[in-house]
Amino acid sequence: MNDTILSLKSQIGLLILVSSIFFFNFLARILPAPLMPTIERHLGLDHTEAGGFFLLISIGYCTSLVGSGFLSRWLTHRNIITLSSLATGAALLLVSVSSTLVVINLGLIFLGLAAGAYLPSGITAITSSIKTAHWGKAIAVHEMAPAIAYIAAPLISELLLTFCSWQGVFASIGAMLILFGLLFLLWGRGGDFKGDTPNIANIGVVTQNRTFWIMTVLFSVGIATSMGVFNMLPLYLVAERGFERTDANTIIGFSRIPSVLMALIAGWISDRLGPRRTMRFVLIFNGIMTIFLGIVPGEWVLVMIFLQPMLSACFFPAGFSFLSRTSSPNIRNLTIAITIFFAYLAGAGLIPAGMGILGDAGQFSLSIVLVGSLILASVVLFRYMEYTENESGS
């Protein structure tokens, strides 16, 4: 490993550039959500088929997470970050020029495949370049990217839809991903080493730990409460709550603003209180607010739209910090990859698909209540964690 461990302040340039790539990477994966009412109408889809879009992205994404460990045998983490950005941009361009549902579906799988290679290498590049005491804060800055993407996706979609079709929105974001991939190729730093190739030995080290499986479940519900609900929320508001698409996307976009600040604060809280306490509190709050989102009557749903995602982004700085502490640097990318493989497939793929099925049955509200109940039930798993640490995070 050639990276020198430095202070957070000295590596702020790395954080900004990597986080920018993560922003567009994440934006690419949630972009169908605010566009879904338009895509449904244009392609003649039902809610089940719409939810299937996110399942296809998840299948590609999770497959890539597993493959990223083999890819890191041949390429450094820095090169993987570059390749992922360029390929994700190309996948969006493919979807934008596709004229049939079959080709669009293939493009969405390719999108997931390209985007999935980023995260293990991105987190590894950050944690290998910054002192352990600052991991919570550094990952919090990195996790501001999806928090901002949640705001930007509906607002950018509505803005660009005034000038172009939904295909044009995909093409625009694809072009930005290619641009930032080239910028990182020229000026990016961090992660200039290769990872260990997955094999029976190091996979066994990861999967034989009970805490790994608990963290996989917790990440599943963490992703469900943020991305899973977000992916289907525009359809829920338009189809079941009677919102206009433009109003729904505008409200959803503004509702995510508080989560940006909360995501940053969560990094400092995680370093002070310990990631375990932080994760537990966040999941309790998120579970309750998600249930309320599905059951409150009338205009009260507007309040829940703002409260439900407020702490969603706070889970991930603590979660990734905890995962990073449970593994050595040479298998850290593998630990993250396997965890997110299962968690993303469940939280961002199967759960939205299930919500779409219930939506077609006229039970959109019930689907949201069930997601919230699952989040609350997961909190009991904290008592079974085997891993012990200094909860101060020092």
Write the DSSP assignment of 85-134 as a string of letters.
Answer: HHHHHHHHHHHHT--SHHHHHHHHHHHHHHHHTHHHHHHHHHHTTB-GGG
Rounded Cα distance, 182 and 84, in Å: 11
> How far apart, in Å, are the Cα atoms of 384 and each of 211, 265, 285?
8, 27, 20
Among candidates 93, 108, 90, which has minimal Cα distance to 171? 93
Whether the per-residue pLDDT at 384 is higher than 80: the answer is yes
pLDDT level of residue 318 (50, 70, 90 thresholds)? confident
Rounded Cα distance, 116 and 59, in Å: 10
Rounded Cα distance, 105 and 228, in Å: 19
pLDDT reported for residue 390: 40
Whether the per-residue pLDDT at 337 is higher than 50: the answer is yes
Among candidates 155, 149, 166, 145, which has minimal Cα distance to 253? 155
pLDDT reported for residue 393: 38
Residue 239, SS3?
helix
Rounded Cα distance, 125 and 117, in Å: 13
Task: State the distance between the two ends of the chain, measured CA to CA, in whole angstroms.
Answer: 23
pLDDT reported for residue 195: 62
pLDDT reported for residue 2: 43
The residue type found at 244 is E
> How far apart, in Å, are the Cα atoms of 257 and each of 132, 235, 249, 310?
29, 21, 13, 8
- When pLDDT is averaged across residues 163-185 and rounded to a whole number, the result is 93
- Give the count of beta carbons closer than 10 Å to the beta carbon of residue 175: 14
- Whole-number average pLDDT of the chain: 83
Whether the per-residue pLDDT at 145 is higher than 90: the answer is no
Give the pLDDT confidence of 98-125 residue by residue, as tens digits.
878 889 999 999 999 999 888 878 887 7
Look at the block and give the residue holding tokens 């460990």: 69
**Range scoring the smallest mean pLDDT among 358-367, 368-377, 380-389:** 380-389
Instruction: Give the Cα-Cα-Cα angle 366, 319, 339 (nearest 5 degrees).
Output: 80
- When pLDDT is averaged across residues 219-225 and rounded to a whole number, the result is 92
- When pLDDT is averaged across residues 268-297 and rounded to a whole number, the result is 87
pLDDT reported for residue 24: 96
pLDDT reported for residue 206: 77
Question: 193, 3 in Cβ contact below 8 A?
Answer: yes
- When pLDDT is averaged across residues 328-337 and rounded to a whole number, the result is 72
Whether the per-residue pLDDT at 306 is higher than 50: the answer is yes
pLDDT reported for residue 333: 67
Whether the per-residue pLDDT at 329 is higher than 80: the answer is no
HSE, side-chain direction, 13 A CA sphere, residue 15: 21
pLDDT reported for residue 269: 74
Kindly state the DSSP code that residue 347 receives in the 8-state scheme.
Answer: I
Q: Name the token pair of 175.
A: 């072009």
**Range scoring the smallest mean pLDDT among 132-146, 172-186, 354-368:** 132-146
Q: What is 9-384's CATH topology? A: Growth Hormone; Chain: A; (1.20.1250)
Whether the per-residue pLDDT at 30 is higher than 80: the answer is yes
pLDDT reported for residue 260: 78
Rounded Cα distance, 194 and 164, in Å: 42
Kindly state the DSSP code that residue 348 receives in the 8-state scheme.
Answer: I
Q: Provide the phi-psi class of 44: left if phi over 0, else alpha when psi is between -120 and 50, else beta.
A: left
- When pLDDT is averaged across residues 214-235 and rounded to a whole number, the result is 90
Whether the per-residue pLDDT at 379 is higher than 90: the answer is yes
